[in-house]
């Protein structure tokens, strides 16, 4: 089990994993043990660009999948996806009253086939990509939060089962730079400060996309292809912390005390009704 977040201690636990694998498995038996574990990620000396991000999932057996991967299993060319969301922008802009920068087909085709300029080219569309992710449109972005407690809320909110939930912790920069081969999948990160959906700030959101250069063009790929690698143990590090789902009511009562609920995270009438339903049906038991 990991005991600190120092640069020298990035190996996995004693679960029989390969040496220097990027993913560490941590199993806890209670909410209190989880809180002890997340304190190990705190480091006041860490640089501002070296954040640890968190993600909650209601079932620890679920893989890390984007909503686009859940919708379609085929490899998605980045250019195809950007052209698709450009097509629907008039409908989104008309309904929301917002005007988003639409990816233009010639520009998309150019930067999605250039190796060196791609990451910055994709980030230019972060505002629109993040807005679509928060609105529920199938997205190649995996969403994270700077708060382990926001992640825990999302993990436990609908976890009505006898197994475990999982809170993931992601550290992109354990050193000052990242390296990788030209044919390997790699992760592009987005956030925290750019103009997008207001839920982005309520949830302290961050985002990642996994991409790979295949046959002369960039494609979206599963994040697990990066997290399962055994090389470069000081970049793209992942911790998977499991907590028994039986701790659900304890966790949700804690979240309610600190004003962390569906209404404060989503700022909608639907969120308010869910928060009230949680209060009168679940938390009174």
Question: pLDDT by residue (tens digit) across 213-272?
Answer: 999 999 999 999 999 988 877 899 999 999 999 999 999 999 999 999 999 999 999 999
Would you state the pLDDT for residue 77? 95
Q: What distance in Å separates the CA atoms of residue 275 and residue 268, rounded to the nearest whole number?
A: 11
Q: What is the pTM assigned to this prediction?
A: 0.89
Question: pLDDT by residue (tens digit) across 168-177?
Answer: 999 998 777 7
Would you state the pLDDT for residue 276? 96
Number of other residues whose CB lies within 10 A of the CB of residue 118? 18
Is the pLDDT score of 12 beyond 50?
no
Mean pLDDT score of the chain: 89
Closest C-alpha to 206, from 168, 242, 165, 256: 168
Looking at the chain, the whole-number percentage of residues with pLDDT higher than 70 is: 93
Is the pLDDT score of 3 beyond 70?
no
Q: At what angle do helices 31-39 and 248-257 cross, to 10 degrees?
A: 60
3-state secondary structure 132-148: HHHHCCCCCCEEEECCH
Alpha helices in the chain (DSSP H): 31-39, 67-71, 78-96, 105-111, 118-123, 126-135, 148-156, 199-202, 224-227, 248-257, 262-266, 269-277
Q: Evaluate the CA torsion angle 227, 228, 232, 233 in order and state its sign.
A: positive
| Domain spans of the chain, in order of start | 23-282
Average pLDDT over residues 204-219: 95
Q: What distance in Å separates the CA atoms of residue 141 and residue 143, rounded to the nearest whole number?
A: 6
Would you state the pLDDT for residue 174? 79
- The separation between the first and the last C-alpha atoms of the chain, rounded to the nearest angstrom, is 34
Written as six digits, the tokens of 228 are: 């399962």
């Amino acid at each position: 089990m990991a005991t600190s977040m120092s640069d020298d201690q990035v190996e996995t636990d004693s679960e029989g994993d390969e040496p220097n694998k990027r993913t560490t498995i941590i199993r806890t038996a209670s909410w209190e043990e989880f809180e002890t574990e997340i304190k190990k990620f705190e480091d006041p000396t860490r640089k501002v660009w070296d954040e640890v991000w968190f993600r909650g999932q209601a079932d620890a057996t679920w893989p890390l999948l984007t909503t686009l991967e859940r919708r379609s299993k085929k490899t998605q060319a980045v250019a195809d996806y950007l052209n698709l969301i450009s097509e629907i922008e008039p409908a989104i802009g008309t309904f929301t009253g917002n005007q988003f920068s639409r990816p233009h087909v010639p520009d998309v085709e150019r930067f999605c086939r250039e190796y060196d300029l791609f990451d910055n080219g994709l980030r230019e569309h972060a505002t629109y990509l993040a807005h679509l992710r928060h609105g529920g449109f199938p997205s190649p972005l995996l969403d994270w939060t700077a708060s382990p407690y926001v992640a825990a809320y999302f993990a436990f909110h609908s976890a009505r089962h006898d197994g475990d939930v999982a809170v993931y912790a992601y550290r992109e920069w354990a050193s000052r730079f990242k390296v990788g081969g030209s044919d390997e999948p790699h992760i592009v990160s987005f956030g925290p400060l750019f103009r997008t959906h207001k839920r982005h700030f309520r949830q302290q959101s961050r985002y990642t996309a996994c991409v790979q250069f295949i046959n002369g063009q960039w494609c979206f790929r599963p994040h697990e292809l990066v997290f399962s690698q055994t090389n470069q143990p000081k970049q793209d590090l992942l911790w998977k912390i499991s907590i028994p789902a039986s701790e659900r009511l304890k966790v949700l009562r804690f979240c309610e005390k600190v004003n962390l609920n569906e209404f404060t995270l989503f700022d909608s009438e639907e969120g308010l009704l869910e928060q009230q339903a949680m209060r009168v049906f679940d938390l009174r038991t």
